Homo-oligomer: A and B are copies of this chain.
Amino acid sequence: MLKPSDLILLYHGEKAKYLLTLPQTGKFSTHKGDIDLTRILGKEYGDAIKSHTGDVFYILKPTLADMAMKVRRTTTIVYPKDAGMMLLRTAVFPGAKVIEVGSGSGALTLILANFVRPEGRVYSYEVRKEFLENAKANVRRFGLEQWVEFVEADVEKQGFLHKEADAIFIDLPEPWGVINWAHQTLKGGHSLVSLSPNVEQIKKTKSVLELEGFTRIRVVELLERELLVRLTGTRPKERMISHTAYLIFAQKINKVNESK
């Protein structure tokens, strides 16, 4: 039974969907009429409710992708298609200690938090205070704050406070500035990933990764294309997001080893 502070997706279609935290009482205005939220308390996910105009909304369970796409943005966010690949090509698991730098808007933070809980932690570093506060608010909104430790720090200058990270996620305009620190902090043989929109950033990141002792450096991009299945016919959607970021993956080589 839904109760105050539960998170719901009010859904009337992709163009009329609303992610909200249930209050004790109140009214919610949509493009398809107002909804009395008090009437949702006691219902279940999957139930329907009508707005005052008679339009039907479904009360759906929000997915992680919904949350990530709906964070209040101070920066470009990490898209679900990219975050999904990042989970599978690094060591993320319940109990993992992972590092993120910077926090950005917290979209990736909450995805990571979801998958490392309950024993693991996300250590999320951010140098810009207002971004940090926004990311914190976003993670708190979705109830994942207890698995995230935010650190206000300039990693390029100071490095990381934490050690033996299972994975490191870099989302910085100049990722190369933190790679030596990442090498110190990441577990041997484990993976980091950095995302950047531009080819030049990827090239410079790759060079520094090679210098600092990483191997298996691979760059990919993912394209997500929607297929419209309608009575009038089936075809790819006419427009798509063509580019979000390149992802560069690398695995750490220990500095002292047999190859010397």
Contacts and interface: CB of A to CB of B under 8 A. Distances in A.
Interface in A209-260: 215-229, 232-244, 246, 251-254, 257-259
Contacts of A105: none
A156 B156 CA distance: 45
B84 A85 contact: yes
A90 B63 contact: yes
A201 interface: yes
Interface residues of A, number: 87
A208 to B, nearest CB: 12
Given A46-B253, A83-B84, A235 B197 contact: yes
A226 B233 contact: no
Interface of A: 9, 11, 14, 44-50, 56, 58-61, 63-65, 68, 80-81, 83-91, 93-95, 111, 114-115, 117-118, 187-191, 197-203, 206, 215-229, 232-244, 246, 251-254, 257-259
A234 B229 CA distance: 14
Nearest to A213: B46
Given A61-B191, A201-B233, A241-B239, A246 B219 contact: no
B215 A219 contact: no
The 3 A-B pairs at the shortest CB distance, nearest first, are namely: A84-B84, A46-B188, A45-B189
